[in-house]
Chain A
Amino acid sequence: MEHTEHLEHTEPPHNMKAQIWRTFWILFALTLVDIALYFMLLSTHSLMKNFLFVLLGVVKAYYIVAVFMHMKFERNWLSRLIIYPMVLVIYLVALMLIEGEFTALLR
């Protein structure tokens, strides 16, 4: 009655649990940095501030995708399959933000 399937997969590392908790504390610390920066830079409006927050977001995204979603331990081409299109999307986002500035001038 028992039917066990064999699926292809990449083996997780032997210290996966340690890596998970380490990553949690990194994400926790990064979020605290986010909050601290927010209150420190509350009354400023600069491109640098925006860039800094987006950068923090990207760093957090790296840890979530690489460790929590296991990407670090998968085949390289799977990472590229996801990352390359997203780089193009980020380029599109940047272009649209610039277009937004031009539209502001038209209002």
Chain B
Amino acid sequence: MSNTSTLATEKKFTWGGGKSPFSVSYGKLMMWIFLLSDAFTFSSLLTAYGFIRHSFPSSMANELIKPMQHLSENFVEEMQHSGLFSTAHWPLPELVFNHFPFIHGMHLPLFFVSLMTFILIFSSVTMVLAVEAGHRMAKKEVAFYMFLTILGGLGFLSCQAWEWTIFITEGASLHGNPFGPTAFAALFFIVTGFHGFHVFSGVMINVIIYLNVLKGTYEKRGHYEMVEKVGLYWHFVDLVWVFVFTFFYLI
């Protein structure tokens, strides 16, 4: 009879203890589960949007204005007269969100929000490049890419702030707007506001982690997993934007 310990031949099974579930650390798993819960929250908001949007009839097609066409000073009034803006039906997003900074009086649907989408996608790329540099313990690269990500986040927030400003100066608020039913502007503010709040908190968290990277906290720790966790949050924010962009502007 051999004297080898039975422990050496004991079979390990996945939930037998002694290893991290899913081979991820506690912090990373919890971030994933938090993102899942946040996805539920955004899904419920987008569901409410879809439900309310579909409870109104759609607008008739826009035959009046083509992209890049000149807009008159009284564009909103003209649309109201033509019946394209009415509280009886949901407005066409292309007629509402048609502005671009520094370009006055031109009908530019989707241009500005496409720019916002590209900014956020690019900041997602710089974020994942920071994570990749972290795997190689390349501190200077991590710092560089995180800095670019923060700039991208601030750029997106500035764009969103500009979009809101234009919308509000045209008369949109939580209890009324000149484009259609009250719910139209209210839902826009609530959903883009909630998303913008996530971008804002993401930028704040990125700044804190960026400062920690500069300080050398993760070099000392021996791994850059915190950058990875924060990266997960940032990509989630980008992901939500893809769907907000699709639901509010494309459909």
- A-side residues, CB < 8 A to B, are 2-10, 12, 16-17, 20-21, 24, 27-28, 31, 34-35, 38-39, 42-45, 49-50, 53-54, 56-57, 60-61, 64-65, 67-70, 74-75, 77-78, 81-82, 85-86, 89, 92-93, 96-97, 99-101, 103-104, 107
Q: How far is the CA of A41 from the CA of B40 in the complex (A)?
A: 31
A-B residue pairs, 6 tightest by C-beta: A4-B222, A100-B54, A8-B20, A103-B55, A100-B51, A7-B25
Which B residues lie within 8 Å of A68 (CB)? Answer: 124-125, 127-128, 231, 235, 238
A101 and B246 contacting across the interface, CB-CB below 8 Å: no
Q: Is the interface of A mostly helix, strand, loop or mixed?
A: helix
* Docked complex Cα distance between A20 and B35 (Å): 21
B121 in contact with A27 (CB, 8 Å): yes
Cross-chain contact B22 with A77 (CB below 8 angstroms):
yes
* Residue ID in chain A nearest B20 by CB atoms: A8
**Given that A31-B117, A57-B242 are contacting pairs, would A78 and B125 also be in contact in the complex, using a CB cutoff of 8 Å?**
no
Given A2-B220, A28-B121, A43-B61, verify A107-B55 contact (CB < 8 Å). Answer: yes
Min C-beta distance of B229 to chain A, whole Å: 11
Complex contact B221–A4 (CB within 8 A):
yes
Q: Say which residue of B22, B57, B239 sits within 8 Å of A61 (CB atoms).
A: B239
Docked complex Cα distance between A38 and B245 (Å): 12
Q: Which residues of B contact A (CB under 8 A)?
A: 19-20, 22-25, 28-29, 32-33, 35-36, 39-40, 43, 46-48, 50-58, 61-63, 67, 94, 110, 114, 117-118, 121-122, 124-125, 127-129, 131-132, 135, 220-223, 225, 228, 231-232, 235-236, 238-239, 242-243, 246, 250-251
Docked complex Cα distance between A38 and B48 (Å): 23
Contact in complex: B43, A89 (CB < 8 Å): yes
B43 partner, pick from A17, A35, A93, A100, beta carbons under 8 A: A93
| Known contacts A3-B220, A16-B132, A17-B129: A97-B54 contact under CB 8 Å | yes
Residues on A with C-beta less than 8 A from B246 are: 34, 53-54, 56-57
Are A81 and B32 in contact, with the CB atoms below 8 A?
yes
Q: Are A42 and B135 in touch, CB under 8 angstroms?
A: no
- Give chain A residues whose Cβ lies under 8 Å from the Cβ of B39: 86, 89
Measured between beta carbons, the chain A residues less than 8 angstroms from B243 are 57, 61
**Interface majority SS on B: helix, strand, loop or mixed?**
helix
Q: Are A100 and B55 in contact (CB under 8 A)?
A: yes
Check B223–A7 contact: CB distance below 8 A: yes
Contact B32 A93 (CB under 8 A): no
Complex Cα distance, B46 from A16, in Å, reads: 33
Please judge, given known A-B contacts A24-B125, A43-B61, whether A92 and B53 are in contact too, CB under 8 Å: no
Smallest Cβ distance from B141 to chain A, in angstroms? 11
Closest B residue to A78 using CB positions: B22
Contacts of B61 in A (CB 8 A): 43-45
The reply to whether B135 and A92 form a contact with Cβ atoms under 8 Å apart is: no
Complex CA distance for A82 and B38, rounded to whole angstroms: 12
Inter-chain contact B53/A39, CB cutoff 8 Å: no
Cα–Cα distance between A45 and B234 once the two chains are bound (Å): 33
A-B contact pairs, 5 of them (CB 8 A): A20-B132, A31-B121, A35-B114, A68-B235, A93-B43
Contacts of B121 in A (CB 8 A): 24, 27-28, 31
Which chain B residues border A24 with CB–CB below 8 Å?
A: 121-122, 125
